A and B are shown apart, each in its own frame.
Chain A
Amino acid sequence: MSADSNRPLDPAAALDRGEATDVVQMHAAVQRERPEPMEGSEPLNLWLVVFIAVLLFWAGSYLTQYSGGFRADEFSENQINPAPPPVVGGSGGDDPVTKAVKAGTPLYVTYCAPCHQGDGNGVAGQFPPLAGSEWVLAEGPNRIIRIVLHGLGGPITVKGSTYNNQMNAFRDSMDDVQIANVVTYIRNSFGNKGSAVSAAEVAAIRTATAARVDPWSAAELEGVAVSGGGEGAAAPAALTVDQIKEALKALPAEDLKTLLQDVAK
């Protein structure tokens, strides 16, 4: 305590408004009390100390076990007991449909569900339903594969309602196996019951329509046979000779060679 505080200070100077001159009266305003004396510097409780020791032990063991060796490229805390490598659609019965549906699920969720919704019912007026759709359930998958490969534009009638929107092309996003799986999934989910689609079918259509850039229109697809066609024979009837020629010109030389070999076979 410094010396000057022993000198009585002028209370009026202490208060900048200077309204209260009597310090006792001033502080009376803030004095409201009831007696209750106590004091304490209790020692630590033994149980608390034990508890802390247990926590510290846990901390040490957790830190050693789940730190991934303090490596910058180890993102899983479980590297001591690594999870089995994820395999999409691994086992699940011998039935090819079940297998394909399983493998198609994540693909559907990723690529299709944003528009056609998780339950396959689409959005009224915007995105057509897949559940019970005549386009999906056609006897053969020729049209639906084409739609998935190159997308679809312009008006289309599904289950009696007309939709006019633009669907993406997925030829670069998914390979033949994946498209086969996702189409099989669509044809066998939301109450749909259709045949499985093989990667070979997709590959054939992909090759046959390799030159296509624009999305299909419903009218064009009407001209495509719903089923049938095999290796190389899937060329749609709607194509004119000129279109085929142009498509062949657009093909890279190597692809053209393979195509010709395939046709020769």
Chain B
Amino acid sequence: MNVIALILLGSVVVVPAVALWSLHWASRTGEFRLLNRAALLPFDDEEPVGQATDQILNRGGDRR
């Protein structure tokens, strides 16, 4: 058995373990709470949710 094979096989065990642990940690410490807050981050007062911005092309017709 080659070193590389061992490392690959080892990582098959270690990587999911680390992933599971970090998921557990994340849910315990509230990383997944208030996701809406994070999702709303791009919006601000000037350009709030529910308002499309940057609508500058093909507006000529509407104006007249």
Contact = CB atoms under 8 A, between A and B. Distances in A.
B19 interface: no
Interface in A30-74: 30-41, 63, 69-71
Interface of A: 27, 30-41, 63, 69-71
A38 B56 CA distance: 22
Chief secondary structure at chain A's binding surface: loop
A30 B54 CA distance: 7
B39 interface: yes
Contact of A37 (B5, B47, B50): B50
A39 B56 contact: no
Contacts of B46: 27, 30-31
B27 interface: no
Contacts of A71: 2
A36 B53 contact: no
- Interchain residue pairs A-B with the least CB separation, the first 3: A33-B51, A37-B50, A34-B52
Contact of A34 (B4, B49, B55): B55
A29 to B, nearest CB: 11
A50 B51 CA distance: 36
A122 B7 CA distance: 57
B5 A39 contact: no
A39 B55 contact: no
A194 to B, nearest CB: 55
A228 to B, nearest CB: 63
